[in-house]
Structure 1
Amino acid sequence: MSVVARQGVKYSIIGYLGFLLGTFASIFIFPYDMEFYGKLRYILPTAEILVPIVVFGLSFSNVKFFSKVNADGKHHNMLSLSLLAVVINFLIFVGGYFLINFLFPQLQTSKLWEMKLLILPMVLVLALSSVFNKFLTNYKRIVVPNIFENFIPKIANIGAFCLFFFLGVADKMAYGFFFLMFVISLIGYGYYTNRLEKIKPDFGLDYFKKDNFYREIFTYSLFGFLGNIGNYIAINIDNLMIGEFINFRENGIYSNIYAIISLITVPQMGLFNISAPIINKELASGNHEELDRFHKKTSLSLFFLGLVLFCCIVVGFPYLADFMKNGEDLRSSEPVVWVLGFAMLFDLATGFNGHIISLSKYYKFNIVVMLILAVLTITTNMIFLKHTDLGILGIAIAYAISLSLFNIIKIVFNYIKFKVFPLGIEMIYAMILGCISINVAIFLPDFKLNILNLFYKPAVVLILLFIGNYFLKIYPLDKYLNKAFIKSLFKF
């Protein structure tokens, strides 16, 4: 097996294990203290939103220009200067942050100001880590960085929570452990990079001044920054908004629900690594008809499998909540499950819209779209926070609106430019079948033991979906439920 194949398989395995670890903790650990978990879920997303400002796209430039600088033996020169630039950017950012808070004292009532001594150092550590993370991809090494990127944050959350709640350690000590895990991750990045090829610090500027090469790097970094900050805002703004404008307890509840419903996105994990070469090939050949067929096929796969998981989650959620500590809080917020679930289902139904754009000559449009998404997310969040009393349900609705509009823009763009369209009539049949299955399971009588309801109702949903799919031929399950396919899963 090639290095790329081995790394791809290991990357997927680590991704799934990390996802399952996070889901397990969300069900069995974090519900014991929603407020403290809400604080943890405020700290990291807030720091991640600020990271692109400090990195300023330099991590992407270390990938884009690696071939050129490596051929000239200057890749360590570029890495060294990138790390130095991140530190300088951080100092400027911190200076600007304190100046703004001095000029506008009302900002000092924010949760960000209250937790600045933890969040700001976290920004620097994450920013330096992101440069190493992207630099390592040049060596086709994605497994170890994935451990640092996926496992460390989960271990940091679980460890800090257990120290605080189960062992009675002071919250400041728990925060210290939380921060220390990311410092260890940064050290790990440096050690692993040095192990692959000994790092040779070089802070000379002459190479980059030649032919104004630095301008080219700056321009590309700027585009990377604009796209990346939009992405980080869109992903993390919910936790920041809830923490600032509602409270940490509600942030913990929202984060728990989000982690559980995110199970429906599992089919998406790793599939892009398989699909990217095919998308790239069809774009290069200009065979848009084949691209459209492939787009519809992958979109249907993601949507149908996500729908199956969604139906099982929504009928089992009330009974699952009964087994969770503080489950009554989750039960009272059950509408959030439906809103987030439908938004994620539509996202799955649109398939790899964004990837088609990013792999085409119109890749810069993705930057525009990501910035639109960021503005939409902030605007809709503020509308629901300021003008309604819906709380985290309002945040969920805002998320659903912005994500759906974001996907619609990409659908329209891809249809105009490439004549590809992800949605099909099969999806409507699948939705009808899913609604019938959910309603049948809900109206079936409950057993006195909730553990039986937790398993038997999702089982009913699975049976109905399987029978309905057999007759309607929505999704070709027969291609995957055969001996040849199952054996192929274990070849490695």
Structure 2
Amino acid sequence: MSVIARQGFKYSIIGYLGFLLGTVSAIFIFPYDVKFYGKLRYIMPMAEIILPIVVFGISYSNVKFFFSTKNDGKHQNLLSLSLVAVCINFLIFIGGFFLAAYLFPELKVTKLWKMKLIILPLVLVLALSTVFNKYISNYKRIVVPNILDNFLPKIANLGAFCLFFFLAFQEKIAFYFFFGMFVLGLIAYYFYTNKLEKFTPDFSTNYFKKDKLYKQIFNYSFYGFLGNIGTYIALRIDNVMIGDYLGFQENGVYSTLLAIISLISIPSMGLYAISAPLINEHLELKEYEELDVFHKKTSLTLFFLGLVLFSCICVGFPFLTSLMQNGELFKQAEPVIWILGISTLFDLATGFNGYIISLSKFYRYSTFVMAILAVLTITLNLYFIKNTSLGLLGIAIATAISLTLFNIIKIIFNYTKFKVQPFTIEMIYAAIIGTLGIAVAVMLPDFKNNFVNLVYKPSLVLVFFLIGNYFLKIFPLEKYLNKSFLKSIIKF
């Protein structure tokens, strides 16, 4: 088995285990104290929004310019100066932050200011870790970085929560543990980098002054910064704005619902990574018809599997809340599940739209669209928070609108440039089956035991999908249930 195959297989296992740990914790552990969980879910997203400002795209330059600098024996020089640049950027940001607080005293009443002693140091640790993460990827090693990047935050959340709630430690101690896990991760990054190749810091600037290489690095880093900050704002701003405007308890509820609905994205975890090389090949060879066929097949697969999971969640969620601590809080927010779920389904139905753009010669367009998404998300969230009384439902609607418009823009762009689009008639058949399955499951009587209902209702939906798929041939299920396919997985 090749290095890439081994790393990819291990990467997938770690990814799914991390996802499972995070989801189970969000459903059965964190609801014991929704407010404290809301604080944890405020700290990390806020740090991640600030993160691109401090990193400034420098991490991407450690990939882009790795091989050229390695040929000259200066790749560790690039890494060393990148780490210094991140530290300098952090000091500049800190100076700007406190200057802003001096000029605008209202900043001192925000939750960011009150929690600055954990958020700001966390930004520096994450920034340095990000540089190491990208640098290590040049050695085709993705498993250890995935553990540190994906698994570690979930352990930090779970450990901090258990210390505070179950072991009755002070909140401050729990936050120290949370921060300490990321410091441990940074130390692990350093030692793993040193294991791959003995790291000898080199802070000389002569090499980068030659032929003004530093200008190329700056320009590339700046582009990475623009794309990265748009992505982080678009994906993390919900938790920050809920924490600031609605409260930490509401943030905890929203984060739990988000964890539940993210289950429907499980099928996409591996498929996107596998698809990228094929997309790139079709684009390079200008095989747009083949790309269109591939696009439709993968989009249908993601939509169908996501729809099955979403339908099961919809009919089972009311009974799941009865088994959760503080379940009534989550049951009241059930419409959020429907809004976020439907918008996520549409996102799955559009497939790898973003990959087509980012892997094509129009890759700069991704940055422009992501910036639009970030601005639109913030604007809509503010509107629904300040002008309506919808609360979390308003946040969900704002997210759904911005995500849907984002996908529509990408669909139009890809169809205009490459004549590819993701939709098929089979998607309509699948939607009809899902709607009928949900309707029948909801109308049928409930048992007195909620655990029985939690099993029985989703099972009924699954039967509907199996029968409907058997007659309409939407998804080639038989291909994935035969002995040869199962043996190939075990062998791999």
TM-score by length of 2: 0.99
Residue 83, structure 1, aligned to residue 83, structure 2: yes
The AA in structure 1 aligned to 2:119 is I
What does 1:368-447 align with in structure 2 at a 5 Å threshold?
Answer: 368-447=368-447
Is structure 2 residue 305 aligned with structure 1 residue 305? yes
State the one-letter code of the partner of 1:237: I
- Separation (CA, whole Å) in 1 of partners of 2:274 and 2:40: 34
**1:173-188 equivalence runs, <5 A:** 173-188=173-188
Once residues 286 and 27 of structure 1 are traced to their aligned partners in structure 2, the CA distance between those partners, rounded to angstroms, is 46
In structure 2, the residue matched to 1:20 is: 20
Q: Deviations over 1:251-280 (max 9, x none)?
A: 000000000110000000111221111111
- Distance of 1:49 and 1:443 partners within structure 2: 44
CA distance in 1, matches of 2:297, 2:233: 31
User: For residue 125 of structure 1, what is the aligned residue in structure 2?
Assistant: 125
Structure 2 residues not aligned, in runs of 5+? none
Per the TM alignment, residue 88 of structure 1 is displaced from its structure 2 partner at its CA by: 0.3
**Quick one: which amino acid aligns to residue 286 of structure 1?**
K
Question: What corresponds to 1:365 in structure 2?
Answer: 365
Deviations 1:350-402 (A, max 9, x none): 00000111111111111111111101110110110111011111111111000
Partner of 2:138 in structure 1?
A: 138
Q: Which residue of 2 aligns with 1:198?
A: 198
Aligned partners of 1:45 and 1:396: how far apart in 2? 17
Q: Between Structure 1 and Structure 2, how many residues are aligned? A: 492
Measured in 1, the distance between the counterparts of 2:126 and 2:229 equals 14
Distance 1:172 1:270 in 2: 38
Say whether 1:491 aligns with 2:473.
no
Give the Å deviation of 1:420. Answer: 0.3
Give the 3-state SS of the residue equivalent to 1:203 in structure 2.
coil
- Spell out the pairing of 1:260-299 with structure 2 (5 A cutoff): 260-299=260-299
Cα deviations by residue, 1:413-434 (Å, 9 ceiling, x for unpaired): 1001110000111111111110
Deviation at 1:473, TM superposition (A): 1.4
| CA distance in 1 between partners of 2:315 and 2:294 (Å) | 32
Rounded Cα–Cα distance in structure 2 between residues aligned with 1:155 and 1:481: 34
Within 5 Å, give how 1:216-231 maps onto structure 2. Answer: 216-231=216-231
1:29 paired with 2:29, answer: yes
Match of residue 456 from structure 2: 456
Residue equivalent to 1:165: 165
Distance 1:135 1:20 in 2: 28
Q: Distance in 2 between matches of 1:397 and 1:425?
A: 27
Q: Which runs of 5+ in 1 are unaligned?
A: none
2:135 & 2:385 partners in 1: Cα distance?
A: 40
Distance 1:474 1:368 in 2: 36
Same amino acid, percent of matched pairs: 68
Measured against aligned partners, the alpha-carbon deviations of 1:42-74 in whole angstroms (never above 9, x if no partner) come to: 000000000000000000000001110010000
Aligned: 1:482 with 2:482: yes
**CA displacement 1:14-50 (0-9 Å, x = unmatched):** 0000000001101110000000000000000000000
Q: What amino acid sits opposite 2:181 in the alignment?
A: M
> Per-residue CA shift, 1:305-353, capped at 9, x if unaligned?
0000000011001111100000000000000000010011000000000
Distance in 1, matches of 2:129 and 2:163, equals 25
Q: Which amino acid aligns with 2:469?
A: N
**Could you tell me which residue of structure 2 aligns to residue 469 of structure 1?**
469
The SS at the match of 2:266 is helix
Taking the aligned partners of 2:61 and 2:412, their CA distance within structure 1 comes to 30
Aligned counterparts of 1:432 and 1:367: Cα–Cα separation in 2: 36
Aligned-partner Cα distance in 1 for 2:198–2:140: 17
| 1:447 shift after superposition | 0.5
Once residues 190 and 417 of structure 2 are traced to their aligned partners in structure 1, the CA distance between those partners, rounded to angstroms, is 43
Distance 2:416 2:71 in 1: 40
Residue aligned with 1:43, SS: helix
CA positional deviation for 1:243 = 0.3
Moved over 2 A (4+): none
Which residue of the partner structure matches residue 214 of structure 1?
214
Equivalent in the alignment of 1:338: 338
State the Cα distance separating 1:168 from its structure 2 match.
0.3
Between the aligned partners of 1:132 and 1:106, the Cα distance in structure 2 is: 36
Superposed CA offset, 1:116-164 (max 9, x none): 0110000000000000000000000000000000111000000000000
Is it true that 1:323 corresponds to 2:323 in the alignment?
yes
* Structure 1: distance between partners of 2:356 and 2:10: 25
Distance in structure 2 (CA, Å) of the matches to 1:192 and 1:344: 36
Which residue number corresponds to residue 354 of structure 2?
354
Find the aligned partners of 1:112 and 1:165 in 2 and give their Cα distance. 23
- SS of corresponding position for 2:267: helix
Where 2:481 maps in the other structure, the secondary structure is coil
Report the RMSD for the aligned CA atoms in angstroms.
0.6
Residues in 1 aligned to 2:485 and 2:343: alpha-carbon distance in whole angstroms: 31
Partner-residue secondary structure (3-state), 2:73: coil
C-alpha distance in structure 2 between counterparts of 1:199 and 1:487, whole Å: 42
TM-score by length of 1: 0.99
Alignment of 1:38-53 (within 5 A): 38-53=38-53
Q: SS at 2:491's partner residue?
A: coil
Query: Aligned with 1:480: secondary structure?
Result: helix
**Which residue number in structure 1 is paired with residue 249 of structure 2?**
249
Q: CA deviation at 1:177?
A: 0.3
Give 3-state SS (helix, strand or coil) of 2:408's partner: helix
Output the amino acid matched with 1:223.
Answer: Y
Amino acid at match of 1:443: M
